């Protein structure tokens, strides 16, 4: 009987199965316990989407379980996916557009309702911000300041999303921007948004880039590159960057090196995604760049995700007919479980500033 160990592990984290607190899960199907033990995070997420359990505060449930390391007791046995990630390059050029089709092309109505007014789908900067719009504008302003942008510079945005960053940089800092994305929906929206600005949007894999740029930035795209391609990505950026240029890399980071991602997130939300570790990033940087600055504001992703979730739930009545209740449960679980993961400090949000040869006199990074 596997129920007992699950109940005891939860209690050690301050979680009571079928308890009366908001973070206590309510189990509707006793098969949940065997599914969790057999399949780990995949079984946990799938059983929620299937309606086998509910919880008012999934974010706080994850926070408590992860702070107590409960997940380490229920890690599934090595999966076929892990061996595939070891043997094959799952993020090779031929698969680069899969995440665009399966995630970012889901529907602009969904992302427009969930995100800020610029549709920035990366962590906001909440140091002095009170709203999601403020936090995303503060993040873009921080990026621009770290890159020391000057009018007339040519800037490359690798993973440009719906064009909000390119629009901000071109209008606020009078720079020329080339943005690339693997999402057809994002590319179409970004072109419309930036049609009257010195901005070019390309539907393109980073490995096919050409041209030379004074500055390069990548916000929330490196998670899709994969460990087998980290060095290739950094090599491509170095080849495209001027010798006196700067590169800002903004990425979610993992505390441990891995060759594959969370089983549930990879299957249902971000195909082929793998969070990089500090060691993996450092190895890819070595011999290519001087590391000028490494900034961690991972706790800010908790607030960002909770605002996205609030927006999503508020807009759900207008989205329900198109997406259906199963998607509702899946998306709620995605947003809230990720918020809890950042709250538990299991995942980080890193901004690195890199230069080809080192900034003469030293680099002073703003905060």
**Residues carrying an active site annotation:** 338
Residues 161, 62, 59, 339, CA torsion sign? negative
The structure tokens listed for 84 are 């595939």
Give dist(CA 175, CA 153) in Å, integer. 5
CA angle 363, 364, 367 (to 5 degrees): 135
The structure tokens listed for 85 are 């990630």
345 conformational bin, left if phi > 0, alpha if psi -120 to 50, beta if neither: left
Residues with Cβ within 8 Å of 243's Cβ and at least 6 positions away in sequence, in order, are: 356, 357
For helices 230-240 and 278-285, the axis angle rounded to 10 degrees is: 40
Residues 121, 123, 128, 132, CA torsion sign? positive
> Rounded to the nearest 5°, which phi and psi values hold at 358?
95, 135
> Which CA distances in Å does 118 have to 23, 124, 136, 166, 207?
33, 12, 8, 10, 27
């Amino acid at each position: 009987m596997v129920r007992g160990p699950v109940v005891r592990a939860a209690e050690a984290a301050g979680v009571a199965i079928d308890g009366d607190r908001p973070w206590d899960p309510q189990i509707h199907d006793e098969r949940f316990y065997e599914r969790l033990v057999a399949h780990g995070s995949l079984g946990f997420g799938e059983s929620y989407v299937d309606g086998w359990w509910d919880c008012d505060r999934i974010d706080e449930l994850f926070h408590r379980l992860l702070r107590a390391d409960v997940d380490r007791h229920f890690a599934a046995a090595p999966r076929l996916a892990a061996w595939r990630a070891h043997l094959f390059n799952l993020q090779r050029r031929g698969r680069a557009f899969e995440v665009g089709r399966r995630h970012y092309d889901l529907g602009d109505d969904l992302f427009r309702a969930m995100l800020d007014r610029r549709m920035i789908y990366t962590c906001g900067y909440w140091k002095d911000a009170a709203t999601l719009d403020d936090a995303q504008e503060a993040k873009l302003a921080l990026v621009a300041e770290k890159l020391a942008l000057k009018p007339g510079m040519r800037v490359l945005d690798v993973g440009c999303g719906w064009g909000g960053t390119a629009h901000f940089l071109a209008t606020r800092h009078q720079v020329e921007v080339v943005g690339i994305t693997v999402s057809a929906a994002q590319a179409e929206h970004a072109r419309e948004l930036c049609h009257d600005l010195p901005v070019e949007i390309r539907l393109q894999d980073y490995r096919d880039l050409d041209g030379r740029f004074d500055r390069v930035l990548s916000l929330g795209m490196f998670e899709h590159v994969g460990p087998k391609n980290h060095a290739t990505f950094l090599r491509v950026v170095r080849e495209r960057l001027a010798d006196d240029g700067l590169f800002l890399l903004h990425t979610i980071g993992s505390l441990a090196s891995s060759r594959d991602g969370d089983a549930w997130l990879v299957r249902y939300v971000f195909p082929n995604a793998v969070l990089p570790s500090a060691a993996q990033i450092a190895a890819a940087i070595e011999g290519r760049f001087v590391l000028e600055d490494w900034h961690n504001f991972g706790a800010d992703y908790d607030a960002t995700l909770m605002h996205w979730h609030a927006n999503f739930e508020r807009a759900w009545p207008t989205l329900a007919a198109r997406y259906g209740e199963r998607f509702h449960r899946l998306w709620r679980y995605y947003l809230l479980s990720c918020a809890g993961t950042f709250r538990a400090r299991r995942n980080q949000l890193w901004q690195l500033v890199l230069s080809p040869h080192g900034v003469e006199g030293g680099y002073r990074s703003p905060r």
